[in-house]
Amino acid sequence: MKAFQSPLHAFSFWLKEEPDRIFLRQPINRKFIEYTWQDAYDQALSVAGALHQMGLNKGDHVALLSKNCAHWFMADLAIMLGGFISVPLYPTLDKDSINEILVHSEAKAIIVGKLDDYCAQKPGIPNIPKIGIALYGIQEEQSWENLVATSTDFQPYEQDSEEAITIMYTSGTTGNPKGVVHMVKSFNQVTTVGMTALQIKDRSRMFSYLPLSHIAERIGIEMGSFYSGSTVSFPESLDTFAEDLASVKPNTFFAVPRIWQKFQEKILEKLPQKKLDLLLAIPVVNNIIKKKIIGKLGLSEATYCASGAAPLAVSLQEWYMKLGLEINQCYGMTEDCILSHFNLPSSNKFGTVGRPLPGVVSKLSPEGEILIKNDTLMAGYYKAPGPTAAMFTADGFLKTGDVGEFDHDGYLSIVGRIKDQFKTDKGKYVTPSPIELELSKNTDIENLCLVGTGISQPILLVIPSEAGLAKGREALNASILASLDALNPKLKKHEKIEKAVIMKENWTVDNGLMTPSMKIRRNRIEAIHQPMYQDWFSKKERVVYESDG
């Protein structure tokens, strides 16, 4: 790995080395528009100069509201070249959340790119300069394209390692989002360590689809491309995702567990498990089947596949391993700049999130909470000294809020969240995560949430998968009960699940019941449904349907 001092230093290397090589590939109407390293730099420099002409000064905060696209990268590059501090916003936020973050962060301007419903979000933007990108249908007072067409003699700033580079507002499974401040040196170190540990080769092919306003995609794909000189492609839409991924054939691929589950569901729709098992048991044929399945996913040339953000079932890792695809589970958070624990190609232990990366020290508190120390910890929450102080121990370790266990080889397993524990009316605490992880093996279940506050035994809230719904109510009930009956004997008496409740409304990012990184918002789900727990619990059926009233 080459030695760089900052993201701009890394970008400059590839700009000087290979200015005409393709950097970004943006699909529009099923054709890729390609931008070279020189194209990206020229556009970003023009916008950086324009922001200064609008009256912004070095160190001012510039927001970025967009889905993943080529212009997300160029806009962030413009913010860096202008000496500004970026404030990326999740593209699914509603107008009230957008307003809250823009006001709190004191953003002086905003760049608006690819979005699904900007008309509904725009009222949340205060009276600050807005730059809209016309390529994605965003019409604003300032056009990205017009600013790019205007010549500028602006001299870019050089990044200082001790300066702030971004304020990243957490997606927040509990409470309100907080602005995590990170320094240039942190982005530099975590990318350098990560690229080396994951053995990412220069000039790789990358595919960007997870929210860039999330730390994992920001570091792994955006910063990863800067440092490795990689080419990044994007999906055009959710409908074209599979086709775009298959055409790109990325060399690295990161996903959350729900994505891996969805891939599995689609494979089993076309090739049921019994038939798949039969074909995999036949010599020669098994290799043909494996290559065909992985090839159709677009992962035939992926040398490193990872999963993060939530626990991944061992059974799912083993299922993919039979197809020849190894998934490495990783662990990190916005506050530690994801410099934490990773399973690596040479040392991958299923069911764990790996061992500490170089430069990381981790330990458990007396309560079992995972504590992390490294040189990339956040500088703090923006304008929140109290919550910042509460995140650290007296000796400088970050409190992750996760409960963990180390095995004898130093591999870390996540047991659950401290705040996710609930107490039944028997006064017994239940940690839901490991129980939910076991039940998630059932492919008839899309999402689930174990609850039990105020009732004598836990109940399971279930969102069925498409495959589960297709079976019909009777078969779906039997499938879920089979999972409960298989697991309950292994649980402690106060943990045994009394019944399952089939939800009538899906949990999505749009309705606020999932985070943009596809984790359930347990506190919001509980706030909505807790008044019904006692009624559901008292019904004689073991599988209750919310839609039945």
Residue 237 pLDDT class (50, 70, 90 cuts) = very high
pLDDT for the residue 171: 65
**Residue 397: CA count within 13 A, CB half-sphere:** 16
The predicted model gives 501-513 an average pLDDT of: 89
Rounded CA separation 500/487 (Å)? 13
* SS3 sequence of 481-527: HHHHHHHHHHCCHHHCCCEEEECCCCCCCCCCCECCCCCECHHHHHH
The predicted model gives 223-234 an average pLDDT of: 98
Q: Tokens at residue 377, please?
A: 């910890």
Sheet with 445-451, strands from edge to edge, namely 445-451, 459-464, 499-502, 543-545
Q: List b or e across 35-58, with b for residues whose CB sees 16 or more CB atoms inside 10 angstroms.
A: bbbebbbbbbbbbbbbbbeeebee
Phi, psi of 373 (to 5 degrees): -135, 130
pLDDT for the residue 427: 73
Mean pLDDT, rounded, of the chain: 93
pLDDT for the residue 138: 97
Q: Write out pLDDT tens, residues 144-193.
A: 999 999 877 899 999 999 999 999 998 654 457 799 999 999 999 999 99
Percent of the chain at pLDDT exceeding 90: 79
pLDDT for the residue 175: 55
Identity at 287, one-letter amino acid code: N
The predicted model gives 341-369 an average pLDDT of: 94
pLDDT for the residue 549: 66
The predicted model gives 125-133 an average pLDDT of: 97
Q: With 50 as the cut, is the pLDDT of residue 371 above it?
A: yes
Q: With 60 as the cut, is the pLDDT of residue 532 above it?
A: yes
Rounded CA separation 533/538 (Å)? 9
pLDDT for the residue 1: 61
Asked if 36 contacts 21 with a C-beta cutoff of 8 angstroms, the reply is yes
Q: Which residue has the tokens 């494979």?
A: 267
The predicted model gives 527-542 an average pLDDT of: 89
Q: With 60 as the cut, is the pLDDT of residue 140 above it?
A: yes
Q: Tokens at residue 188, please?
A: 């530099």
Strand partners, 26: 33
Helix (H) or strand (E) holding 435: helix 432-439
Q: Topology of domain 7-233, per CATH?
A: Rossmann fold (3.40.50)
pLDDT for the residue 509: 82
pLDDT for the residue 173: 47
Q: Which of 221, 233, 226 is nearest to 32 (CA)?
A: 233
One DSSP character per residue, 223-262 reads IHHHHHT-EEE--S-STTHHHHHHHH--SEEEE-HHHHHH
Asked if 409 contacts 439 with a C-beta cutoff of 8 angstroms, the reply is no
Q: Which of 170-184, 307-321, 487-501 bottoms out in mean pLDDT, i.e. has the lowest? A: 170-184
Q: Write out pLDDT tens, residues 40-93.
A: 999 999 999 999 999 999 999 999 999 999 999 999 999 999 999 999 999 999
Q: Which of 151-155, 214-218, 282-286 bottoms out in mean pLDDT, i.e. has the lowest? A: 151-155
Question: Cβ atoms within 10 A of the Cβ of 238, count?
Answer: 9
Rounded CA separation 52/191 (Å)? 29
Q: With 80 as the cut, is the pLDDT of residue 504 above it?
A: yes
Q: Tokens at residue 300, please?
A: 């035939």
Helix (H) or strand (E) holding 63: strand 61-65
Asked if 41 contacts 15 with a C-beta cutoff of 8 angstroms, the reply is yes
pLDDT for the residue 313: 87
Q: Which of 355, 346, 397 is nearest to 374 (CA)?
A: 397
pLDDT for the residue 203: 96
- The CATH architecture to which 421-548 belongs is 2-Layer Sandwich (3.30)
Asked if 143 contacts 150 with a C-beta cutoff of 8 angstroms, the reply is no
CATH placement of domain 252-300+303-418: 3.40.50.12780
β strands within 341-496, DSSP E: 341-342, 355-356, 361-364, 369-373, 380-381, 398-406, 412-417, 422-423, 429-430, 445-451, 459-464
532 three-state secondary structure: helix
Is pLDDT larger for residue 390 or for residue 258?
390
360 three-state secondary structure: coil
Q: Which of 184, 71, 219, 182 is nearest to 131 (CA)?
A: 71
Q: Helix 241-248 and helix 285-297: axis angle, to 10°?
A: 110
Could you tell me whether strands 380-381 and 179-183 are parallel, antiparallel, or unpaired per DSSP bridges?
A: antiparallel
The predicted model gives 209-218 an average pLDDT of: 95
472 three-state secondary structure: coil
Rounded CA separation 464/466 (Å)? 7
Domain extent listing, the chain: 7-233, 252-300+303-418, 421-548
Asked if 45 contacts 90 with a C-beta cutoff of 8 angstroms, the reply is no
The predicted model gives 1-8 an average pLDDT of: 89
Sheet with 341-342, strands from edge to edge, namely 252-255, 304-307, 327-331, 341-342, 355-356
Asked if 365 contacts 392 with a C-beta cutoff of 8 angstroms, the reply is no
Residues in the chain: 549
Q: Which of 546, 538, 436, 549 is nearest to 501 (CA)?
A: 546
pLDDT for the residue 547: 80
Asked if 190 contacts 337 with a C-beta cutoff of 8 angstroms, the reply is yes
CA 17 to chain centre: 32
518: left (phi over 0), alpha (psi -120 to 50) or beta: left
Distances (CA, A) of 95 to 71, 120, 500, 504: 22, 7, 35, 26
pLDDT for the residue 172: 55
> Would you say the CATH fold of 252-300+303-418 matches that of 7-233?
yes
Q: Write out pLDDT tens, residues 22-50.
A: 999 999 999 999 999 999 999 999 999 99
Rounded CA separation 525/528 (Å)? 5
Rounded CA separation 446/439 (Å)? 11
